[in-house]
Amino acid sequence: MDLIRCGWAGKEKIYQDYHDQVWGRAVVDPKELFAKLCLDGQQAGLSWITILKKQANYEAAFADFEPAEIVRFNEDDVERLMQNTGIVRNRLKINSIIKNARAYLKMQEEGIHFSDFIWQFVDNRTVINRWSDMSQVPVSTAASDAMAKELKKRGFTFVGSTICYAFMQAVGLVNDHIVDCHCHQVCVDVARKAD
């Protein structure tokens, strides 16, 4: 018998694996959160599967999303990345990852833990939704609006509310698997509880 999945998971193995093993699992590691936020920003105007298929290329091109390495990138690096066919060759998007690394490190210098900063928007616990159909799932919420506003204020780019909500879904701030999906309960079980 076939597993029941959220409709967006489609038929491609890479997408189904992402849905089954990554999407909706609570992430607290700050570097992993940073990398995912940057990758979600890259999907603006594109489908997530486009970026998912290029994820390994992004990791190679951007020093495995190590902010301290990324901030050393200069104009020559940007030009080099503009020739990299393994990533989306958009100057604004490439520069956004560099800007985001600067903003991340500035927060670190100020003593702000990125994971604590991100999880504050859901009161440090996964929001468990119980949608019966994907059409019920929002594309943004008051929490993603607030996150987008604060991230922009701190110098992050490509972090609009819709991108922030997609990020929140991906890293388990919210569980938006439909209730019939085989991953819904798994994500409930691994949900972050309030400290």
Q: How would you classify the pairing of strands 127-128 and 174-175?
A: parallel
The string of pLDDT tens digits covering residues 30-45 is 999 999 999 999 999 9
194 assigned to some structural domain: no
Question: Domains in the chain: how many in total?
Answer: 1
1 assigned to some structural domain: no
The string of pLDDT tens digits covering residues 124-156 is 999 999 999 999 999 999 999 999 999 999 999
- At 1 the pLDDT is 60
46 assigned to some structural domain: yes
2 assigned to some structural domain: no
pTM above 0.85, yes or no: yes
The yes-or-no verdict on residue 195 having pLDDT over 90 is no
Per-residue b or e along 59-95, where b marks 16 or more CB atoms closer than 10 Å to that residue's CB: eebbeebebeebbebeeeeeeebeeeeebbebeebbb
The answer to whether the beta carbons of residues 83 and 89 sit under 8 Å apart is yes
Quickly state the pLDDT bin for 2 (edges 50, 70, 90): confident
Q: Would you tell me how many other CB atoms lie within 10 Å of the CB of residue 174?
A: 23
139 assigned to some structural domain: yes
Residues in CB range of 108: below 8 A, 6 or more apart:
67, 114
Quickly state the pLDDT bin for 119 (edges 50, 70, 90): very high
Count of alpha carbons within 13 angstroms of residue 132, beta-carbon side: 0
Phi and psi for 83 in degrees, rounded to 5?
-95, -5
